Structure 1
Amino acid sequence: MIPSVLPTYSRAPLHFVKGEGSWLIEEDGRRFLDLGSGIAVNALGHAHPDLVKALTDQAQMLWHVSNLYEIPQQQALADKLVAATFADTVFFTNSGTESCELAVKMARKYWYDKGHPEKTEIITFSGSFHGRSSAGIAAAGSEKMTKGFAPLLPGFKHLAWGDHEALYAAFDETTAAVLVEPVQGEGGIRPMPDQCLKGLRALCDEKGVLLILDEVQCGMGRTGRLFAHEWAGIAPDIMMVAKGIGGGFPLGAVLATEEAASGMTPGTHGSTYGGNPLACAVGCAVMDHVADPDFLAGVNRRAGHLRQKLEGLVADHPDIFESVRGSGMMLGLKCKVAPADFVKAGYAAQVITVPAADNVVRLLPPLTLSEDEIAEALVRLDKAATALEAHPA
């Protein structure tokens, strides 16, 4: 008999009932150190007092009115994002998947309105993940994402990650945009080198196509800058955001320049819940923290310490790990064992990690992870690795 919850996840037998900062409490009372943050969502940890206050204050006032009316909290969050980024305008969604849908529509509508309806194709890269909608799985293109869901949405050209010659050759008269994650998350914590991101921006300018960045997982302070592309000193035309922007409350956004968004006129897109007062009140509270230079300096300092300790962990367990990679608080342990086995060993050691492709285990802790919690994290990760060495799966 099928369970009442559709079985599309192989769920761990854990039942968390409370969260406190970097900690999750199981219903049996065990305390787990959360190095997953709900897959890079709980940027400020669990039950952060500023987020709790923003949510409860707004909940006592107004929850939902729809986008048929002006929403002050939405305007406030849009203003904060525009002031802090390349963007001139913002549309709010409920998720990264919805942000992908709009980013694709925006790029194609831009060229249609410019008198080039033939420019519909979007270049994407192997290992990418852009959500599980029809556009998202078609953009990623991997068999894991697309098998059984044909016919796929057309209009995407898939290139191998890091194949510069193929990238140069891929542009033609139908190319509308390039879509890329500055740091691949699901793909195994693979950062695009700064020089490559600079080169990609220059190539898009040379060819006259739009650059779309997917910063759903690597944005909102995750790499030690508000957005990962800032490290390369470039700016996109369109950017997808979600996960950390709501600090745990469902919220996403598409940021764009005035030029790139010029085709999105009244009636071309909409969302019933997107940008509702509750979500945007929380989003404003998140931005007040993660856009603060002092906060980001602390993230970078503690992320450097965490990485140093992880390098030691890898050296101590050469049969379990190969290397550490990533940026800021978006780190990956390249494994010699199956990532799922290490994640399971972590459950026994009461530490939460997240599996990814390319034999990588992701560490995506709250950006507020303390020095003492870093020390405890290493104790628990070491315990998990030691257990796997003693009893290989």
Structure 2
Amino acid sequence: MGFKIAVAGATGNVGREMLNILEERGFPADEVVALASRRSVGQEASYGDKTLKVKALENYDFSDTDICLMSAGGGVSQEYSPRIGKQGCVVIDNSSAFRYDQDVPLIVPEVNPDAVEGFRKKNIIANPNCSTAQLVVALKPLHDAATIRRVIVSTYQSVSGAGKEGMDELFEQTRAVFVADPISTKKFTKRIAFNVIPHIDVFMDDGFTKEEWKMVAETKKMLDPKIKLTATCVRVPVFIGHAESVNIEFAKPITADEAREILREAPGCQVIDKREDGGYITPYESAGEDATYISRLREDSTIDNGLAMWVVSDNLRKGAALNTVQIAELLVAKGLIQPKRQAA
């Protein structure tokens, strides 16, 4: 007997990707249910060669559902995830609603798999921010080897991180440039076509944005609270794939060659680092792929024990949908969850 899985937010970019990945990876599900808001009821969502009719999240009974993959936004998650959890269904939430809750584990399976066992307090597990997820996959094996003291990261984040509206805006503005139409901005604070915007999420009192703060808080929670991190998060005119320029200071000596070998053996990482034209990965090449790619590894001569590297990943997959499904797989692999219908 397999599991019954619900995907909440099934009509969004990440929800659709969750359904694709569940089928691609052969997750042991006997039944998969697509959920969204009332206005989406009756729409269709693809799950392998099957077509699912979208049902309403608002009145859905989760009492016989094992896992809910939640990708319906922070406000919706805050309202529904605790209710769903109380019905005995484990929520794996892709929003920021519960990431900083001490009673909710924040998980990247390649980084802190053992922490998942804390889910029982609320029956909720949080998925990290897309920019953090790929960063910690690359940092974890290096931290284990040489202890990271400080990280400076600049992100180059695709418009899909802002949802379908962000992708639509880039497409419409790009078209407008070529046909000399007026350009309007809706989702972003400034024009995104042929431009970059150093502003993701709201500004905080210290001048950093909420996106930048998330990277700090989430890295500390998942990897090590002693790591000092500062981030500058930038939106770029790319449809899918986040890139990051990462500068790391270690407590112990580590060479670029040593780091390269460590990362080649690390789960979830793929090193593409040839010192020649095209010997690196770009966001375009990462789209549709599961790996976190590391390129441009080199030693930083301005500090002791310093390295610089370029990290790229598909933000809709490892940054969101894939990581969520991997958490569900982790629950099954560790025997932390059994199908309710089998138990009955």
TM over 0.5, yes or no? no
TM-score calculated relative to the size of structure 1: 0.27
Whichever structure has more strand as a proportion of its residues is 2
* Structure with the higher fraction of residues in helix conformation: 1
Bigger relative contact order (CA 8 A; separation at least 6): 1
